[in-house]
Amino acid sequence: MIDQIRTPCIVVLIASLLTGCATVPQQGANNSSQNNPERQIVMEALVAGAAVGAGLGAAAGYAVAGNKNRTQGALLGGLAGAVIGAMTARLIAAQQIKTLHDYQLDNKRLDALLQKAQQRNQEVAQYNRQLEGEISALKKQNKATRRQIASTKLKEAQQKRAGIQQMIADRRDIANKLVAPQRAQLEQTLSNLTREESKIDHSIKQLSNMESAVVGGARITGAARLSIEGAVALVAAVR
């Protein structure tokens, strides 16, 4: 009867002593678990591992030992179980720390991705401002000069817009693969880039209007205009 009362007490005592004395390597001057996630992971793992190991070991030792050695069996089993539990807990903690490091590395990659996206947005915005200034200057030119320069700028702007559309598609594809908080950050840069796409669309319409020639109230461009110019030249040659 005494052993039956004493054994649970020993189990609790072993678990308390081992978990209370669990220590981890120093990680610098500030070692509070709130500021050191690695220390917190190791501490929690050691506490849980030692406690569970001590309890299971003590119970196993008590069951295996003879009637006269149950107390000793529980004590030795508890010590052995605590050691095994702590060792297992360290392995688990190491894996958790590795996961923590991987997550932090992902954050670094996310920061790099966001920085690159913002840089691309700034480049597009700068191009739009430059193009808008050039369009304003073109409005002061005569029709022939305006049409010639607008034709060149139009092709350039269309190529730029194709590049922007590809960036939007690529960025949207990446955003769809991210977890919600990270996706929201990337989608913000995507929203800004979409606004810049709208601006270049407006500029392209303006350039297209400038590039067009007006004949009899109808607008013609490209090959049609060349055909008309060729026909006019042919009539002049016949005369």
Answer yes or no: is 45 within a domain.
Answer: yes
Answer yes or no: is 84 within a domain.
Answer: yes
Give the number of other Cβ atoms within 10 Å of residue 228's Cβ.
Answer: 13
Are 35 and 91 in a shared domain? Answer: yes
Please report, for the domain that includes residue 165, its CATH number: 1.20.58
**pLDDT confidence band for 91 (50 / 70 / 90):** confident
Q: Which of 81, 105, 129 is the last residue of a domain?
A: 105
Helices (H) and strands (E) in the chain — how many of each? 6, 2
pLDDT score of 86? 81
What's the length of the chain?
A: 239
DSSP string, 39-98: HHHHHHHHHHHHHHHHHHHHHHHHHHS-GGGHHHHHHHHHHHHHHHHHHHHHHHHHHHHH
Residue 213, SS3? strand
Its pTM stands at: 0.51
Q: What distance in Å separates the CA atoms of residue 65 and residue 43, rounded to the nearest whole number?
A: 32
Q: State which H helix or E strand residue 214 sits in.
A: strand 213-215
Are 150 and 186 in a shared domain? Answer: yes
Q: Is the pLDDT of residue 124 over 90?
A: yes
Mean pLDDT across the stretch 55-72? 78
**Counted domains in the chain:** 2
Average pLDDT of every residue of the chain: 77
Are 88 and 112 in a shared domain? Answer: no
Tell me which DSSP letter residue 121 carries: H
Tens-place pLDDT, residues 151-180: 999 999 999 999 999 999 999 998 887 877
Q: Is the pLDDT of residue 120 over 90?
A: yes
Answer yes or no: is 75 within a domain.
Answer: yes
Are 132 and 46 in a shared domain? Answer: no
Q: Find the domain containing 158 and state its range.
A: 107-212
Answer yes or no: is 200 within a domain.
Answer: yes
Are 34 and 75 in a shared domain? Answer: yes
pLDDT score of 1? 47
| Spatial CA neighbour of 24 closest among 42, 48, 5 | 42
Tens-place pLDDT, residues 6-42: 555 555 555 554 444 444 444 444 444 445 667 888 8
Are 196 and 123 in a shared domain? Answer: yes
Answer yes or no: is 235 within a domain.
Answer: no
Q: Which of 105, 131, 159 is the last residue of a domain?
A: 105
Contact 135, 206 (CB under 8 A): yes
Are 204 and 111 in a shared domain? Answer: yes
- The set of residues, in sequence order, having a beta carbon less than 8 Å from that of 212 and lying 6+ positions away, is 147, 219, 220, 221
Answer yes or no: is 236 within a domain.
Answer: no
pLDDT score of 2? 46
- The set of residues, in sequence order, having a beta carbon less than 8 Å from that of 184 and lying 6+ positions away, is none
Are 129 and 100 in a shared domain? Answer: no
Are 101 and 197 in a shared domain? Answer: no
Q: Which of 50, 75, 105 is the last residue of a domain?
A: 105
